[in-house]
Structure 1
Amino acid sequence: MFTGIVEALGRIDRIEAVGGDVRLTIATDGGYLDGVNLGDSIASNGVCLTAVALPPKAFVADVSVETLDATTARRWQVGTRLNLERALTPHKPLGGHMMSGHVDGVGHLVDKHVDARSWRLGFEAPPAIARYIARKGSVAIDGVSLTVNAVDKCRFEVNIVPHTWENTTLGGLSPGDAVNLEVDLIARYLERLLEARSESAS
């Protein structure tokens, strides 16, 4: 599990094709990866990846065909910057919202404009997941926990404060860019509970 609070920025140093899928080497500066062990989970732009090797100041992760097809990972190139977050521990503050690191779909940035000292970003989500996005609810965009400010059918807006703008990859997005979306887990569970109640009543 993750919280959507980005802890560090990484970059892809190597992409290796292996047996039909890919193996990535993701590097980051400083000692962010100190204490990471083989098998640990690290969310990378919202995608939960497992460390299978730990070269100096980097980790290596395998990315399956399913993940390549369901996320923006297939678009990543050497040099692509990624938002990184290590898995939640019992002692880690829950500053964002509960996230699984399992991307629900790929959205696109539609527009962006300055809003006082912040930025207002508008995104379009696939119809299949847009129904889970509600005003004042939570959504993860490239692994960043954000509050939804407005919703209009498949489009929604979020506000990016200066700290988030400067310390995540969101500040580098341009209209048309693809992003990983993970909707609020509570919305998904609520829908399933209502479905089960409806089935039992029929």
Structure 2
Amino acid sequence: MFTGIIEDMGVISNLREENTNLHITVKSNITSELKIDQSVAHNGVCLTVIDINNDEYTVTAIKETLDKTNLSSLKLNDKVNLERAMKLGDRLDGHIVQGHVDQTGICTHVKAENGSWFFSFEYDASLNNLTIEKGSITINGTSLTVVNSGHNTFSVAIIPYTYEHTNFNTFKEGTVVNLEFDVLGKYVAKLATLKDA
């Protein structure tokens, strides 16, 4: 379980394919605090630490994960948003994030405002995920509030701190991002489809 509050931006230092798996090595400031078998969210994807070496650690993404997320497009020196699992009893500063990406989306517009940024996204609505105005959304693991919610589109407003301390500063039109929709909204959407059946 995560909160969507990014702790660090890691840098991809090695990528190694093994059968249909991808071993991802990340250089990070939080490596010294990690242990083997610990869960860490990478761009919102919960992965297990399998090796630690000085300031680098390795996780493995299986085919199912690679097919549903943007991790398959990682390149050396790419920046990834990192968050360790939530501690029971801590403040929940973001929202409840499972680390299970629902689907990818595409950045369709970036607009710099005077001191903030608006990012717009589009996603495949046929998967029955939805956003609501002022609801929660997780983009590359970052907990955000939805503005301009549409049928298969939405926007988010980014403050300077978030822009500087997440990989939002690398987004441009066409960037593929990981989306985890609000867990409560997913239950409501499921109930609605069951009612219609």
TM-score normalized with structure 1 length: 0.92
CA deviation after TM superposition for structure 1 residue 55, in Å: 1.0
Counterpart pick for 1:187 among 164, 185, 188: 185
For residues 34-183 of structure 1, the aligned pairs below 5 Å read 34-129=32-127, 131-183=129-181
Describe the superposition over 1:103-130 as per-residue Cα deviations: whole angstroms up to 9, x where unpaired.
Answer: 1111011011122210011111111356
Letter in structure 2 aligned against 1:186: L
| Counterpart residue number, 1:3 | 3
Bigger mean CA offset, 109-118 vs 99-108: 109-118
TM-score normalized with structure 2 length: 0.94
Q: 1:159 to 1:73 in 2, by over 3 A?
A: same
Q: 1:126 to 1:195 in 2, by over 3 A?
A: closer
SS at match of 2:16: strand
| Counterpart residue number, 1:26 | 26
> Contact conserved, 2:131 with 2:150, CA < 8 A, in 1?
no
> Contact conserved, 1:129 with 1:183, CA < 8 A, in 2?
no
How far apart in 2 are the matches of 1:172 and 1:33?
Answer: 23
C-alpha root-mean-square deviation of aligned residues, in Å? 1.6
How far apart in 2 are the matches of 1:13 and 1:123?
Answer: 28
How far apart in 2 are the matches of 1:131 and 1:40?
Answer: 29
Gaps of 5+ in 2: none
How far apart in 2 are the matches of 1:81 and 1:19?
Answer: 25
Q: How many residue pairs end up in the alignment?
A: 197
> Contact conserved, 2:129 with 2:186, CA < 8 A, in 1?
no
How far apart in 2 are the matches of 1:175 and 1:82?
Answer: 18
How far apart in 1 are the matches of 2:39 and 2:102?
Answer: 18
Runs of 4+ residues deviating >6 angstroms = none
Q: 1:42 to 1:56 in 2, by over 3 A?
A: same
> Contact conserved, 1:2 with 1:100, CA < 8 A, in 2?
yes
Q: Give identity over the alignment, percent.
A: 32
CA deviation after TM superposition for structure 1 residue 21, in Å: 1.5
How far apart in 1 are the matches of 2:193 and 2:122?
Answer: 26
CA deviation after TM superposition for structure 1 residue 195, in Å: 5.1
How far apart in 2 are the matches of 1:14 and 1:187?
Answer: 36
Gaps of 5+ in 1: none
